[in-house]
Amino acid sequence: MEAGLETSVSGKHRTASKDSNQEGRAHISDKEMEHVFGGMLAFVADEARLEQLLSMLPASSPLGCMAPIAGALFHTSASVRGFAASILRSIEDHKAARPCVTGLNAFLLQGLAQQPPGTYAYA
């Protein structure tokens, strides 16, 4: 592994490792994923912000614009999976945004159904 990718999360600079086995993609730790998803969960709690966010996402994606979040339902960390489920359920609670979640493919919806309901918050 070689170090060198700089990322900025909430104004703090962190160094992410670069794994040569993953074709140069940066590895994000579980704690960083929790931090990102915790912020996103707080963000989507406000309907106006949620609508603003959804207007920037590609609705034409074959897996739906929620696929990057829904993909985290299969993350190795139970906490990250819980955050992903909480975000999707929060989005689904907003009537205008519900189709973004219900329109996910059956595999992703099954992943969501397997996550126990719960409230996640970044501490």
The distance from CA 112 to its chain's CA centroid, rounded to whole angstroms, is 12
Residue 12 has which token pair? 């703090």
Question: Structurally, how many domains does the chain consist of?
Answer: 1
Is position 36 within any domain?
A: yes
Is position 120 within any domain?
A: no
Location of structure tokens 């406000």:
46
Is position 119 within any domain?
A: no
Give the predicted TM-score (pTM) of the model.
0.69
Is position 109 within any domain?
A: yes
Divide the 123 residues of the chain into consecutive groups of 10 and give the mean pLDDT of each group. Answer: 39 42 69 90 85 73 72 92 92 83 89 84 52
Identity of the residue numbered 30: D
Host domain of residue 41: 29-113
The whole-angstrom separation of Cα 89 and Cα 17 is: 32
Is position 5 within any domain?
A: no
